[in-house]
Amino acid sequence: MIRLHDTLAREKRPFVPLNPQRITMYVCGPTVYGRAHIGNARPAVVFDTLARLIRHEFGQNSLIYARNVTDVDDKIIAASEKEGVDPSVITERYERHYLEDMGALGVAPPDIAPHATQEIAPMVAMIERLIEHGNAYEAQGHVLFSVPSDPNYGILSKRDREQMIAGARVEVAPYKRDPSDFVLWKPSPEGVIGWDSRWGRGRPGWHIECSAMIERHFGETIDVHGGGLDLIFPHHENEIAQSRCAHGGLPLARFWVHNGFVDMGAEKMSKSLGNIVTPAELLAQGHRGQTLRLALLSAHYRQPLPWTETLVAQAKATLDRLYRAAGDAPPGDVDEGVLDALRDDLNTPLALSRLSALEGGSLKASAALLGLLASSADDWFQGDTDAAAVEARIAERAEAKKNRDFAAADRIRDELKADGIILEDGPGGTSWRRE
């Protein structure tokens, strides 16, 4: 029996799905306007691991996992204006990068990846229903959700009204009846991405996207709704309000699961603070995706995870040890101790320490539940040999450049390229990645 911590109940509860043959999980996905950082990668890895556990327990075809792509957003519009390109150029580029980066971390693509721009009609339909029910109103081309119309508002974040108003960082907007009301639809001026509606040409707010797409793909109530801790308020609180009010009070999700932050020093890693490290950079430095995945799973998912070079080095050393212990044995039986650790609210630190006591096929099969030891031991250690060889060639090339032997430098670069190794010269020296 899996037990999961439910943010709404503030406790661990036995995970009993509505329909064990069709378990539904929705995780808020990326807003695609820039490269994902390692903090963004944490929910992708955590919920990928939860998906593996659910499939192990209930059957490979038991789970439908949806992760949305927010491809209409003010930050995307700003990025497209800055580059002078259509928003789709930005969103397609960064969605591709996101899938590459997460793929490198062993994150399987979700079963469904709904895109906001493809699902405007269900959003408009839900907004119309909210207006009919008296939970939303139109004002100056905007449609707003009326927070005071929902007596349950605040159940997830447990904030009082004052905190909610402060926490929502509410902009002064004369069209709002109440300062805590939030936008469901907003007008798009000429030249900005938008869709025709009975409220004029405009675009959806972010929160309505998830409520409408969950309804469209899954129905009224899902088993698991996931995301980072920072989404509890206002995003998930608003999702709950919209969905409950549109569905006559039915709950949106049976389990609300939230992962903690990745910290840099004393601060949360975030784009706005400018203290980010991206998987792309770490991979370019020669770290491998499995190392980053293990580092991300080394703390319990609800705890903060301080990101340091030591953490990454330890993860690499652990993998070396595990690969040696697994050898080239074919996968055997999954260890009950590892399983029990994961069943207990995805206790990955305990599961990892159990793995350290295993060897051979049992280790291989148990590690697969965490998405680890995916390559053969030979390939893993070959990777180290290859990396050392590439580093040596890079040093040789730097030497050639220093001696102004550019023909030799170019030849080394071309030879590496033929082997699928791409060199990138930057201010800090030359980094490399596999093609």
Binding to Zn ion in span 99-158, by CB under 5 A: none
Q: Shortest distance, CB of residue 36 to Zn ion, whole angstroms?
A: 16
Maximum C-alpha span of the chain: 76
Q: Shortest distance, CB of residue 271 to Zn ion, whole angstroms?
A: 18
- Shorter beta-carbon distance to Zn ion: residue 87 or 114: 114
Q: Shortest distance, CB of residue 235 to Zn ion, whole angstroms?
A: 6
Q: Which two tokens stand for residue 264?
A: 């840099």
Binding to Zn ion in span 378-417, by CB under 5 A: none
**Cα gap 421→417, rounded to integer Å:** 5
- Shorter beta-carbon distance to Zn ion: residue 253 or 423: 253
- Shorter beta-carbon distance to Zn ion: residue 154 or 228: 228
Amino acid at residue number 431: S
Q: Shortest distance, CB of residue 28 to Zn ion, whole angstroms?
A: 3
- Shorter beta-carbon distance to Zn ion: residue 156 or 358: 156
Q: Is 72 in the site for Zn ion (CB under 5 A)?
A: no
Q: Shortest distance, CB of residue 102 to Zn ion, whole angstroms?
A: 17
- Shorter beta-carbon distance to Zn ion: residue 102 or 358: 102
Applying CB under 5 A, which of residues 131, 210, 315, 326 lies at the interface with Zn ion? 210
- Shorter beta-carbon distance to Zn ion: residue 236 or 316: 236
Query: Which single residue is written with the structure tokens 């690499």?
Result: 316
- Shorter beta-carbon distance to Zn ion: residue 4 or 116: 116
**Cα gap 192→86, rounded to integer Å:** 10
Q: Shortest distance, CB of residue 250 to Zn ion, whole angstroms?
A: 18
Q: Shortest distance, CB of residue 207 to Zn ion, whole angstroms?
A: 7
Q: Shortest distance, CB of residue 255 to Zn ion, whole angstroms?
A: 15
Number of other CB atoms surrounding residue 280 within 10 Å: 17
- Shorter beta-carbon distance to Zn ion: residue 124 or 423: 124
**Cα gap 171→174, rounded to integer Å:** 10
Taking contact as CB under 5 A, which single stretch among the options 53-61, 208-216, 299-307, 325-333 is the one that binds Zn ion?
208-216
**Cα gap 307→198, rounded to integer Å:** 48
Applying CB under 5 A, which of residues 4, 28, 41, 131 lies at the interface with Zn ion? 28
Taking contact as CB under 5 A, which single stretch among the options 153-161, 183-191, 202-210, 264-272 is the one that binds Zn ion?
202-210
Whether residue 83 contacts residue 93, with contact meaning beta carbons closer than 8 Å, is answered with no
Taking contact as CB under 5 A, which single stretch among the options 20-28, 129-137, 169-177, 280-288 is the one that binds Zn ion?
20-28
Taking contact as CB under 5 A, which single stretch among the options 28-36, 80-88, 183-191, 376-384 is the one that binds Zn ion?
28-36
- Shorter beta-carbon distance to Zn ion: residue 230 or 263: 230
**Cα gap 85→80, rounded to integer Å:** 5
Q: Shortest distance, CB of residue 214 to Zn ion, whole angstroms?
A: 8
- Shorter beta-carbon distance to Zn ion: residue 256 or 323: 256
CB within 8 A of 61, min separation 6: which ones?
Answer: none
* Closest residue to Zn ion using C-beta atoms: 210
Taking contact as CB under 5 A, which single stretch among the options 69-77, 160-168, 179-187, 205-213 is the one that binds Zn ion?
205-213
- Residues binding Zn ion (CB under 5 A): 28, 210
